Amino acid sequence: MEPLGHDASWAQSDDPLEEGGIVRVKAGYGAVYRCVVRRFEPGRVLELVVRPAGLTIVNVYEVAPSATGCRVRHALEVSGPIAGVARPLLAGMYQRKLEAEVRAVIRLAAEQAGATPVTRSSR
């Protein structure tokens, strides 16, 4: 069951990224999900909604300036008929994959900006 978590292989959109647009995301286990862009503020916020069978998942990514660079925040909301069962099963593996993804995104952003290495902040 390890592959079922936050493990996207790729994301793609045929149109410009904008509210109401569709982004297709391929999960690490092969399924491709259509995610609706619910909110988009370039360089600041991306909020996606995906509806796999029995669930509604909202992913929010926020970037905000801080005294030492920027703060990256990810929020996840899981609801739907099977959310009560799915939430505890996915929690641990999702958290591990999310932490790895956030580190990778921060590293990529720092490389593109020519910034110094990033250290992990407290939660």
pLDDT in tens, 104-116: 777 777 777 776 6
Architecture of domain 8-113: 2-Layer Sandwich (3.30)
What are 52's two structure tokens? Answer: 């796999």
Residue-level pLDDT at 6: 52
Residue 88: C-alpha distances to residues 66, 73, 79 (Å): 33, 21, 12
Residue-level pLDDT at 4: 38
Average pLDDT of the chain is 81
Q: Where are the domains of the chain?
A: 8-113
pLDDT in tens, 4-41: 345 566 788 888 889 999 999 887 778 899 999 999 99
Say if residue 81's pLDDT is above 90.
yes
> What is d(CA 20, CA 1) in angstroms, rounded to the nearest whole number?
32
